[in-house]
Amino acid sequence: MSDSLQYKVVANHEEQYSIWFAERPLPAGWNETGFTGTRQDCLDHIATVWTDLTPKSVRERLAGQAP
């Protein structure tokens, strides 16, 4: 696989991240985050911004529970 291919970082409604080919339409349920680059650039970006792998709905549910 060529490192010259361009990808974009995408996220779903649960704030889970992935990469997608820049020239292809996004699959349903995914949105662009505004970051594009090589595969490795995108994976490095995700490693920086996706620090809590817990899905958004679970974080919200846990935040609403009293100790």
Contacts of 28 (CB under 8 A, 6+ apart): none
What pLDDT was estimated at residue 16?
97
Q: What DSSP character marks residue 41?
A: H
| pTM of structure | 0.84
What pLDDT was estimated at residue 6?
98
Domain count, the chain: 1
What is the span of the domain harbouring residue 55? 7-64
1 in a structural domain = no
CATH number at residue 40: 3.90.820.10
How, if at all, do strands 17-21 and 30-37 pair? unpaired
Look at residues 46, 43, 42, 37 and name the one whose alpha carbon lies nearest to residue 5: 37
pLDDT band at 66 (very low <50, low <70, confident <90, very high): low
Give the three-class secondary structure for 26: coil
